[in-house]
A and B are shown apart, each in its own frame.
Chain A
Amino acid sequence: MAFKKIEGITELKLVANTIRVDIVKMLSEAGSGHPAGSLGLADIFTALYFNIMNHDPQNPSWEERDRFVLSNGHVCPVLYASLANSGYFPKEELSTLRLLGSRLQGHPHRGALPGIENSSGPLGQGFPIAVGMALVAAREKKNWRVYCVVSDGEQQEGQIWEAAMLAAKFKLGNLTAIMDRNYIQIDGTTEDVNPLDPLGDKYRAFNWNVIEVDGHDIEAILAAYAQAKEITDKPTMIIAKTVPCKGIPFMEGLVEWHGKTPKEEETEKAYCALLEECKLIKEGK
């Protein structure tokens, strides 16, 4: 039986809040990993796993499932938390992230954990994998769709543009990619390291349908996915502006949190911030 979708925006916001709590817990326990992108993508992953995608956590290899491909593998805490919260594996297992013998590898390993469609880590590879999947679905006239999350720093990899070209060649309307446009990468801001803008124009020039959206506005994200489905002869790139470490004010927007995890005190502070956010969501603010 396919996963029962959550329709209410408030409920979805609460799921995203839970996922953020899980991410903080996982990264703090693991002592290494990437908080900025993981936290920044919580709303996008919530929209995908709890509303947009047809999938069945009880039957991860369900033939008709939509495929989800993570291209920037280092943000896998948000993927693992989304999979656990939607029922692919017990939530307690999240505590094993990056430990010896864990199914939750530091970067995702296809075959290690239910729900992981591709191995990732080296940037640029998930995007063309998604193109390959979408091509199979298109040629074999399948109804399932392919969703892919890419990062903005990843756009500096040449392979991304090889894949963008190929997806447009085959008019893969069943492929929707969403870019985590948070303007940071390890060595600084993307625009300092190697400028990416205007990204929308670049993808339009590559014959993609482009939608720009606030990556923390779940309603807007859902609307963007709905719009992407309407375009059948072009792949869609949703450029989602996000705030690194969104939801934890003292960490938000800072490059230093790309690949550094919170210490004990910081973790407590982060929990308090998320608890506060949870209250506000419930109060409808």
Chain B
Amino acid sequence: MAVPFNENPTEKKSTRDGFGRALVEIGEKDANVWALTADVSESSRTHWFAEKFPERFVQVGVAEQNLASTAAGIASCGKISFISAFGAFSPGRNFDQIRVSICYSNLPVIVHASHTGLTVGPDGASHQILEDIALMRSLPNMNVLVPSDFEQVKKATHALYEAKSPGFLRTSREKVPVFTTPETPFSLGGSNTFIEGEDAAIFACGPLVPYALEAAKELKGEGISCSVVDLYSVKPIDRKMIESMAKKTGTLVTVEEHQVHGGMGSAVAEVLCSFKTDATLRIHGMYDKFGESGPAKELLKKYKLDTAGIKGVVLEEVKKNKG
């Protein structure tokens, strides 16, 4: 049964706000929660936590390697640390520190990467990290979540806190429609099937989920019925759902604001090749390219990650399979 969602959301909120709000809730609940940032407290939304709990907030300055290792030191004293910075720099710049100081030691440090993906927009390619999911999901002990709207990010932040282990949370800069509610399910290793269809299944994550929903709606008008799954938990991943969608539709398409190498699509491919199936998989994202400056909307259009782009890719795949 499909999970209900708001088909005509009126409110837009940025996912990083969801993180900032949840962080304050968690800080109120647990005095062992600390937050650190690298000169981006306001833009990564840790400033609300900083105002409320200055004694548990650490500003390290422009030093992302230090951000990760200092957080590990704090976590090793029985604390849970959240580190926030732009994804391009954390985990872009501190992979070794996340790998050894945090993951190898299995410490509860949650890496919050804000400003990820193409939708960073005008700042251009250097700031549009499109490789972070690949980096983070390759690490043992690490959970990787790419939630799709304000409400889901709040739940993701709580889920990573409750896991008390290394975690990675990907948020973005743009305001996106709030199409879920506080009641929408969310769990580590879970997924939400918002639309059920037979001809193809679209797996999307992060801010691309609303575009995938819209694409499915338009395709339905053209006689093609698609399932749409919000595959927010990239690691652990919902194997059962992938298996059942492969069986049901035979045509899988993943869409993400990430390189096609190593991201959510690759995670799906790893599951798909672990059982016998005739289903095909199209991994859609950035095809081994860097981004560029421009408004988020125009960039998604250019790289075929908006409604029309996703629709086109699904059509290609359906045609291929149905001959």
Contact = CB atoms under 8 A, between A and B. Distances in A.
**Tier of interface size on chain B:** 20 to 34
Interface residues of A, number: 31
Contacts of B71: 132
Contacts of A159: 63, 65-66, 69, 97
A136 B63 CA distance: 19
Contacts of B104: 109-110, 119
Interface in A139-182: 139, 158-159, 162-163, 165-166
Contact of A119 (B56, B74, B75, B101): B101
B243 to A, nearest CB: 34
Nearest to A137: B77
Interface string A107-142: 001110000011111101101111111111101000
Interface in B82-115: 96-97, 100-101, 104-107
Main DSSP-derived SS at the A contact region: helix
Contact of A111 (B65, B77, B106): B106
Contacts of A163: 66, 69-70
A135 B79 contact: no
A76 to B, nearest CB: 14
B90 to A, nearest CB: 13
B61 A165 contact: yes
B305 interface: no
A133 B76 contact: yes
A111 B140 CA distance: 15
A128 B69 contact: yes
A131 B70 CA distance: 6
User: Which of A124, A135, A139, A162 counts the most chain B CB atoms within 10 A?
Assistant: A162
Interface in B133-148: none
A136 B100 contact: no
Contacts of B73: 69, 118, 128-136
A119 B60 contact: no
A133 B106 CA distance: 16
B58 interface: yes
Contacts of A125: 69, 72, 96-97, 100-101
A283 to B, nearest CB: 44
B78 to A, nearest CB: 8
Contacts of A134: 73
A124 to B, nearest CB: 8
B62 to A, nearest CB: 9
Given A119-B100, A125-B97, A166-B60, A132 B65 contact: no
Given A129-B70, A129-B101, A158 B65 contact: yes
Nearest to A148: B73
B184 to A, nearest CB: 36
A134 B73 CA distance: 8
A249 to B, nearest CB: 36
User: Which of B66, B73, B101, B106 counts the most chain A CB atoms within 10 A?
Assistant: B73
B55 interface: yes
Given A128-B70, A132-B73, A133-B77, A166 B97 contact: no
A49 B52 CA distance: 40
Contacts of B61: 162, 165-166
A134 B58 CA distance: 13
A132 B69 contact: yes
B79 A162 contact: no
A139 B69 CA distance: 18
Given A110-B76, A125-B97, A166 B66 contact: yes
Contact of A162 (B63, B100, B105): B63
B74 A135 contact: yes
A135 B69 CA distance: 13
Nearest to A127: B69
11 contacts: A109-B105, A117-B76, A125-B69, A125-B97, A131-B66, A132-B73, A132-B75, A132-B77, A134-B73, A136-B77, A166-B60
Given A111-B105, A128-B70, A135-B74, 17 more contacts: A109-B104, A110-B76, A110-B104, A110-B105, A117-B76, A118-B105, A122-B96, A125-B72, A129-B70, A132-B69, A132-B71, A132-B73, A133-B76, A133-B77, A134-B73, A137-B77, A163-B69
Interface of B: 55-56, 58, 60-61, 63, 65-66, 69-77, 79, 96-97, 100-101, 104-107
Interface of A: 67, 69, 109-111, 117-122, 124-125, 127-137, 139, 158-159, 162-163, 165-166
Closest 9 CB pairs of A and B: A132-B73, A128-B69, A162-B66, A129-B73, A162-B63, A132-B70, A110-B105, A132-B74, A136-B77
